[in-house]
Chain A
Amino acid sequence: MTNEMQMTLEAPSIYQPIMLSILEITPMTDLEKVFKIGLPHPMSQDHKPGQFMQISVLGVGEAPISISSSPSRSKNSFEICVRRVGALTNALHALSPGDVVGVRGPFGRGFPIERFRGKDILFAPGGLGLAPLRSVINEVLDDRSNYGRIIILYGARQPKEMLFRDELQEWATREDVELHLTVDEADEKWKGNVGVITTLFSKIQVSPRNTVAITCGPPVMYRFVLMELLGMGIPEGNIWLSLERRMKCGVGKCGHCQMDHIYVCQDGPAFSYAEIRHLEEAL
């Protein structure tokens, strides 16, 4: 697996982040903010949606965070969507535009979207799983004519926890995107579907052999979504997911992301279900 470290290739240490400025911070929900981070030069052509960065705040720590902007829109910047869950993410949330963060990457193997051309694409993100999939969705939408139907099924716990609501609005109004939303718990304003994400599958018909499904969400969601996708007859090699692990190095050494013999940081984080279904430690 090639390891694209174009930004830190020249650094004397592979663990040394380059310090980049935050251009914009957009609050998404109570827990999530989107950070737009400036790049000194455009990201390489090899950058694939689905890759991740090692993001750090000096003195607090470093963690892998998936890139949520698409390569098509990340010429001199990239975006990450950060949920506040621990020391590092708390520290990120306390930053302001103009502050700097440490960046290493991009790392890993993203989604091989060139292989998806001509096919219908079914996106099924749950919760924060929309962050990495937004990268693919926008990449595909920016090259719309090369793909068939675009179906997006997105589930969140509550309406106020939905991410990227401006884009959801935009996708909802597009004729060439089929968007279906659901929440586990509705509030008084919610008019849409209520229930877990799998309740949306009955709303769509797909031609399974010509469909690529891409899903990302918490581990418990995968089992049910995979059942639905396989039940629709989508081949295992056409079902793609992104796996979460706590990479410490990003370069296949620290051992934290290993599942069986696979290093998620290098061989993934994007995998087809066919590649991982036999791995007990994958899901």
Chain B
Amino acid sequence: MTAKILPKHAMQGWIETLREHYRIIGPKPAQSQYVFGDIHSADDLDLSYPTSILPPKKVLLPQREDLFRFDSMGDTPIVEPTFDDEPTVILGIHACDMHSIALLDRVFEKGTTDQHYQTRRENTTLVSLECTTSCSEFSFCKSMGTLSVPENFDLHMTDLGDEYLLEIGSKKGENLLRGFNEVREATDADFERLNKVMSEKWSHFTYRLDFDVTELPALLSLSYDSKVWEELGDRCLACGACNIVCPTCYCFDVRDEVDFSLRSGGRFRVWDSCQLDRFAIVAGGHDFRDTRAARQRHRFFRKGKYLTDQYGVVGCVGCGRCAQACLVHISPVDTFNELHRRRVPSAAAQEEALA
């Protein structure tokens, strides 16, 4: 493994060097929470952040994104697609969010490639950060198998106290260190320190799922008609917060805007939410998912089964953002456990059956 050592005091210098070529995005405080935003100096960056309101997904798939601009003033309308190819570095991405980016890569590249996503993705360098303590009471990444960073990182940082160990995952990652002299090669002693951090971290996370995550798609298959969905539907406010903060949600709406000439403007997409009342309505007025219960079921089936069936990776990365955002305390891990509990006969019932 190739690895480098970056002293923490050199962070400012590194950011200054990077800023010559890249826009830098990283976690920074906002009110009492954290958001991924523009990093101008090391002082902006807080790599000890617990979690962010929105995942770094928003850099690759912005909340609102122009698809094309048009101008119909002349005889033939001109339609000009818009792409964002600004070289960008995202610093400090947690493992759960790296897993979600791996999923988004498959979604937007499978079948028909979405060139808007692809352009951004190709020009973005991902710098992940090893999670060594649980980031929030709502997270359950260990249960979902997303606590270890996947291999899609360009550079991966592990906090060794006064230094970071940087594992190089790609040429893009290597480029971030080019021409920066304050890093040194990692030594055997550094790798020993790394191993210590890695072996100690696991005990800081708990398993919160009562069963193995590989059983999740099958559990859901058996739970389509569960009463749980009605119960969630009764509580759900259909506010859409769970979808908006989710790192693996990618549904979108497409809208047009015009200037006052009414002849030029643009088409853009915005994040959408399958929990909203009219997500599945059609022109004739029929709503194919018109109850909150059916919408909750759809959400959890997407996270726990449909995406796994389609892309071979888990659709919920256990970040806990949705549970934190939900005013009526709907949480994926509690929901999955409840479905499991209702599928597995209780000990008392089993004894009764045997008697």
Q: Which residues of A contact B231 (CB under 8 A)?
A: none
Determine which of A17, A102, A219, A266 lies in contact with B111 in the assembled complex, contact meaning CB atoms within 8 Å.
A266
For B283, list chain A residues within 8 Å (CB).
63, 83, 85-86, 89, 244, 246
Q: Judge if B84 is at the interface, Cβ distance under 8 Å.
A: no
How many chain B residues sit at the interface, stated as a range, is: 35 or more
Most A Cβ at <10 Å: residue of B107, B116, B283, B306: B283
- Contact partners of A56 in chain B: CB under 8 A: 256, 267
Q: Is A208 an interface residue (CB 8 A)?
A: no
Bound-state CA distance A219–B251 (Å) is 24
Partner-contacting stretch, out of A132-140, A193-201, A255-263:
A255-263
Q: A12-B115, A14-B115, A58-B72 are in contact. Are A218 and B67 (CB under 8 A)?
A: no
Query: Which of B86-94, B134-142, B284-292, B326-334 is found at the contact surface with chain A?
Result: B284-292
Say whether A248 contacts B76, CB under 8 Å: no
Contact at B111–A251, with CB atoms within 8 Å? Answer: yes
Q: How many angstroms between the C-alpha atoms of A62 and B281 in the bound complex?
A: 15
The distance in angstroms between the C-alpha atoms of A255 and B248, with both chains bound, is 12
Which one, A15, A254, A259, A266, contacts B288 given CB within 8 A? A259
Residues of chain B within 8 A of A15, CB atoms compared: 67-68, 81, 116, 254, 267, 269
Among candidates B267, B279, B286, residue contacting A219 with C-beta atoms closer than 8 Å: B286
The verdict on B41 contacting chain A, using a C-beta distance below 8 Å, is no
Residue of A nearest to B288 (CB): A281
Q: Are A14 and B79 also in contact (CB < 8 A) when A245-B282, A261-B310 are?
A: no
Q: Distance (Å) between the CB of B53 and the closest chain A CB?
A: 22
Check B309 for interface membership: any CB of A closer than 8 A. Answer: yes
Q: Is B112 an interface residue (CB 8 A)?
A: yes
Cα-based distance from A249 to B107 in the complex (angstroms): 13
Give the secondary structure class of B's interface: mixed
Task: Give A83 to B288 CA distance when docked, in angstroms.
Answer: 20
B263 pairs with A61, CB closer than 8 A: no
Query: Interface code A143-175, partner B: CB below 8 Å = 1, 0 otherwise?
Result: 000000000000000000000000000000000
**Is B121's beta carbon under 8 Å from chain A?**
no
B294, CB-defined interface residue at 8 Å: yes
Q: With A13-B68, A19-B77 as given contacts, are A254 and B251 in contact (CB-CB < 8 Å)? A: yes
A280–B293 alpha-carbon span in the complex (Å)? 13
Task: Decide if B108 is an interface residue (CB 8 Å cutoff).
Answer: yes
Whether A16 is near chain B, meaning CB under 8 Å from some CB there, is yes
Cβ–Cβ contact B294 & A255, under 8 A: no
Q: Which residues of A contact B185 (CB under 8 A)?
A: none
Q: How far in angstroms is the closest Cβ of chain B from A248? A: 5
Contacts A15-B67, A15-B267, A219-B286 given; indicate if A254 touches B254 (C-beta within 8 A). yes
**Bound CA span A252–B112, Å:** 8
Cα A253 to Cα B283 with chains together (Å): 20
Contacting residues, chain A, for B77 (C-beta < 8 A): 19, 58, 100
CB distance from A115 to the nearest CB of B (A): 24
Min CB gap B304→A, angstroms: 12
- In the complex, A100→B74 CA distance in Å? 12
Q: C-beta contact mask, B222-248 vs A, less than 8 Å → 1, else 0?
A: 001000000000000000000000000
Q: Can you name 23 A-B residue pairings with CB atoms under 8 Å?
A: A3-B111, A3-B112, A14-B115, A15-B254, A16-B81, A17-B79, A19-B76, A19-B77, A56-B267, A61-B256, A218-B284, A245-B282, A245-B288, A246-B280, A246-B283, A248-B253, A248-B254, A251-B114, A254-B252, A254-B269, A255-B272, A256-B279, A258-B306
Report the 5 A-B pairs with minimum CB-CB distance, sorted nearest first: A255-B251, A13-B81, A59-B258, A251-B112, A15-B67
Question: Could you list which residues of chain B lie within 8 angstroms of chain A, going by C-beta atoms?
Answer: 67-68, 70, 72, 76-77, 79, 81, 83, 107-108, 111-116, 224, 250-258, 262-265, 267, 269, 272, 274, 279-284, 286, 288-289, 294, 298, 301-302, 305-306, 309-310
Name 4 extra pairs, CB < 8 A, besides A219-B286, A255-B250, A261-B305: A56-B267, A63-B283, A89-B283, A102-B79
